[in-house]
Amino acid sequence: MRAVTWQGKESVSVETVADPVIQEPTDAIIRVTSTAVCGSDLHLYGVLMPYMKQGDILGHESMGIVEEVGSAVTSLKKGDRVVIPFQIACGSCFMCRQGLQTQCEVTQVHEKGSGAALFGFSELYGSVPGGQAEYLRVPLADYNPIKVGTELPDHRYLFLSDILPTAWQGVQYANVPDGGTLAVYGLGPVGQFAARIGTHLGYRVIGVDPVAERRKLASQYGVETLDLHKDVADELREMTDGRGPDSVVDAVGMEAHGSPAGKAAQTVVGLLPDKLAQKAMETAGTDRLSALHGALDAVRRGGTVSLSGVYGGTASPMPLMNMFDKQLTLRMGQCNVKRWTDDLMPLVEDPADPLGVTNLVTHQASLEEAPELYKKFQKKEDGCIKVVFQPGSN
């Protein structure tokens, strides 16, 4: 099959690799019909390189048609149409029963001290081949796949794999009071959905992003928008009676704009041999923190900051004195996809499309165009907000 593979810093290629096969009786194989590029893929593309191996298959936002099931699988059959959550969970352990599928006790990557295994996300999360490919092996297939209908196009369902529930969880974790104000730092794919979810739930939403096209898209959903500049926290306070927003979602993560020290640290780590680089990332502050620190500055006293953006540094400095003084709540974590599926399914199937899942995709392409589109997405060129590949298309 053809698959998007990691080859080195800011380098991916499309290669012919072995088809996946049933390895355990609980596995399924799906033929991938749509698979997206996520902001988290860019972390692997440029920052988390020490945990990657040449030839790793990328991608964790996929859906398709079941081609084969293992002998122990009872809930799926060949021909079923399914969305595949980015994490691999058992559905029955203590953590899964708490709705914390990203902490699944069956698939935790103990050798790295990490939570549940993830598709296409480096040895930190199990080195599981990803879904930017023509076929995908899905472990624990009686629980993980989300069965969907056959009448609506892929893009109505695809984002249930990651970014839509990630945004939903981010807003839920933000604990916005009724009639309150939610600020969203970063209007990439997750930030777009977080902002739209906020307005859908009746909050006042203010989005912050340096890219004009992203601000324009968010404004179509009733979101007030601000350009990113050094005084944006003051501007947010001016818009909210001098207090700041009740809640902030940081949808940016470790590669924030305006973080020269963090960028320098990431550059240095990227020059080290893998084992030394891993050690540096596991013991040092290697994140660009301007978005997170901006969110902590902007949020009102007694407010909540919710982290949806991914961070990777173990010792990243935090303004704890101010956080304590402001009596802030901080919530974070990889999204527990299946915890939110029942909330989101009616919204993605609603003919009115209240969250705009039909207009987020800016670039659709075949797998063969992956190298070019990874670069465009990283550099935010050509209005690139969300890329979806359709394996098998030309």
Determine the Cα–Cα distance for residues 95 and 324; give it in Å rounded to an integer.
Answer: 29
The answer to whether 328 touches 307, Cβ cutoff 8 Å, is no
Q: Are 76 and 28 in contact (CB under 8 A)?
A: yes
Q: What is the mean pLDDT of the chain?
A: 90
Dihedral sign of CA atoms 172, 83, 105, 59 in order:
negative
DSSP category for residue 97: H
* pLDDT confidence tier of residue 256, bands split at 50, 70 and 90: very low
CA distance to 66, 71, 315, per residue, from 25 (Å): 15, 5, 41
Residue 279 has pLDDT above 60, yes or no: no
Mean predicted confidence (pLDDT) in 149-156: 95
Helix, strand or coil for residue 156? helix
Model confidence band, residue 332 (pLDDT cutoffs 50, 70, 90) = very high
> With 60 as the cut, is the pLDDT of residue 275 above it?
no
The C-alpha angle with vertex 150 and arms to 144 and 156, in degrees rounded to 5, equals 75
Amino acid at 205: V
Q: Which residue has the higher pLDDT, 306 or 254?
A: 306
| Whole-prediction pTM | 0.90
What is the arithmetic mean of pLDDT over 363-375? Answer: 95
DSSP letter (8 states) at residue 225: E
pLDDT tens per residue across span 346-367: 999 999 999 999 999 999 999 9
Alpha-carbon distance of 24 to 70, in angstroms, equals 7
Under DSSP, the state recorded for 69 is: E
Q: How large a percentage of the chain has pLDDT more than 70?
A: 89
What are 164-187's pLDDT values in tens digits?
Answer: 999 999 999 999 999 999 999 999
Contact (CB, 8 A) for 236 and 298: yes
Instruction: Report d(CA 369, CA 202) in Å as an integer.
Output: 39
Structure tokens at 383: 């209005």
Range 314-320 average pLDDT: 81
Residues 90, 164: Cα–Cα separation, whole Å = 21
3-state secondary structure of 107: coil
